[in-house]
Amino acid sequence: MQLEKYTIDQHNEGLSASHKRKLSALTSDIANAEAILERLVAFQVAIPSWALGTGGTRFARFAGGGEPRSLEEKIEDIALLHKLNRSSGAISLHIPWDIPKNGAAIKVLAAQHGIRFDAMNSNTFQDQPGQPLSYKFGSMQHVDKAVRRQAVEHNIEVIEHGMALGSESLTVWLSDGSCFPGQLNFRKAFENTLESLQEVYSALPDAWKMFVEYKAFEPNFYSTTVGDWGQSLLYATKLGPKAYTLVDLGHHLPNANIEQIVALLLMEGKLGGFHFNDSKYGDDDLTVGSIKPYQLFLIFNELVEGMDARGMNHTTDLGWMIDASHNVKDPLEDLLQSVEAIMITYAQALLVDRAALQAAQQNNDVVRAQEALQNAFRTDVRPLVAEARLRAGGALDPLQIFRKENVREHLVKQRGLKTIATGL
Ligand SMILES: [Mn+2]
């Protein structure tokens, strides 16, 4: 479905007076509002190809209708999001769920919508039809070298697909691990995994990065072979300068101090990618910022501080992606909410009075340090985020326009009620 520019202009016109009023009230108190706006306009978050269909749990999946039936339709959906918020200008593909039949044509289609290809994602956590060897007992850690080779070859194939699309990074998330004590020799599992990753690493083109994603548990429940940031960093360090750790918000044990993890990884120059979602218990795939917005803010605060300390470009020097899809919301509305939550939190992190915070830290003034953070967190920066969208050509209120234009109803009419997007 195409949203015409005049529809967005009309919508913006209608909200203009109220927007201007809120914006001027906010910016009169902010010294660096223009600098923050510039950063917000530049910031882009990749949408994963599997988040455009309704997510499910291991119990059920309740499809919502009008889901994209092909990679082309997935790109159209992201184009729609990007048209509304101007911050979703990248797609992250999952292979083999979204193998491009014609890489060059897909690249052109995406470019027409201002969308580029972010990290490629491999999949050795499930068996595909016709696959000769099973990943039931792991892939890169497997005791059988032939299974490991199959996993390596799959990853190299994913790199080749990515090269055709102009992607420059590979995310490897392994479900490898064990469900019961004694099932695995931990050291041998690590060594096998490292050797397999080294083979993939040696196939990486020069400009590429490899992201080693960790996860504390699930689907394995006793041990995970890339289980935490320490293990990921160990692999990334042994692999070499093109390998980095990837932090996914949902992949930690409860109450992990994720902000400290990102601070130290940035200090070591080893944070490469970041996956957004939210959770109450584990890898719940809930909308970004829906459960723990303050934690997200504290993490963003460290991301901004740590990236600035290394002179990194906020937009391009880390791979930013949403990694969530739940089963009770319209996936497109969920993604609009997610991107909005990310932009709000990023703006709040940019708002932190760094000089005041540093002075408080230096003087052991715990109270002022907390005030410096919470002053920013408790500021309603939504008018600033809306202004950035407006300047970039997007909508002041993307969700409102999505509902008013009956986007989902149009998609159901176009694609049908019983369509199912590829994915889990
Ligand atoms: Mn992830």
User: Ligand 1 centre and the CA of 236: distance in Å?
Assistant: 17
The string of pLDDT tens digits covering residues 197-224 is 999 999 999 999 999 999 999 999 999 9
User: Ligand 1 centre and the CA of 243: distance in Å?
Assistant: 16
Quote the percentage of the chain above a pLDDT of 70: 100
User: Ligand 1 centre and the CA of 372: distance in Å?
Assistant: 31
**Amino acid, res. 39:** R
Backbone torsions φ then ψ of 171, nearest 5 degrees: -100, 125
User: Ligand 1 centre and the CA of 343: distance in Å?
Assistant: 19
**Whether pLDDT at 170 is above 90:** yes
Q: How many CB atoms lie within 10 A of CB 298?
A: 20
User: Ligand 1 centre and the CA of 119: distance in Å?
Assistant: 11
Q: What is the mean pLDDT of residues 114-142?
A: 97
Residues that place a CB less than 5 A from ion ligand 1: 248, 275, 323
Question: Residue 373, CB half-sphere, CA atoms under 13 Å: how many?
Answer: 19
User: Ligand 1 centre and the CA of 143: distance in Å?
Assistant: 26
For the chain, the maximum distance between any two Cα atoms, rounded to a whole number of angstroms, is 66
Coil, helix or strand at residue 117: strand
The string of pLDDT tens digits covering residues 219-240 is 999 999 999 999 999 999 999 9
For residue 246, what pLDDT is reported? 98
User: Ligand 1 centre and the CA of 274: distance in Å?
Assistant: 8
User: Ligand 1 centre and the CA of 19: distance in Å?
Assistant: 35
The string of pLDDT tens digits covering residues 381-394 is 999 999 999 999 99
User: Ligand 1 centre and the CA of 275: distance in Å?
Assistant: 5
Angle at 170 between CA 196 and CA 219, to 5 degrees: 65
Tokens 């015409």 belong to 4
User: Ligand 1 centre and the CA of 4: distance in Å?
Assistant: 33
**Whether pLDDT at 1 is above 90:** no
User: Ligand 1 centre and the CA of 31: distance in Å?
Assistant: 36
